[in-house]
Structures are given as structure tokens and as C-alpha cells.
Amino acid sequence: MGKLDDKVILITGANQGIGKGMAKLFAPKGARLAMGGPQRRKTPGGGR
């Protein structure tokens, strides 16, 4: 079990830079991510 299990983290700007890096860091630790970014198709899980 990860340290962040059952935690929800909101990440803005998740399609590039620091936001993207944070998403890659928190996801394997069990966090549930809510992500957004200005370029919807580049945001992980966006454009659907």
C-alpha cells in the first residue's frame, strides 16, 4: 500500500512541466489524481 492511498490530489497544468512531473510522482504512490491543463488533448486522460 502506498503512502497516498485514498488521497485525492488536484493537479493543474498536468500536461507539461512541474504538473506533469507531479502526476508521474504521485500516481505510483496510490493517489487518485484529478488533473487539468490548458491543452485538453495533452493532459493525461483528457480529450475523452
Residue in 36, 42, 34 with CA at minimum distance from that of residue 13: 36
Judged by DSSP in three states, 34 sits in strand
Residue whose C-alpha cell reads 507531479 in the numeric block: 22
Q: Is the pTM of this model over 0.85?
A: no
pLDDT score of 15 = 83
Per-residue pLDDT tens digits for 1-48: 678 898 999 998 888 889 889 989 998 999 999 988 777 666 666 544
The closest alpha carbon to 43, from 12, 18, 8, belongs to 12
Side-chain-side CA neighbours of residue 2 (13 Å): 13
Amino acid 41: pLDDT: 66
CA distance 20 to 25: 9
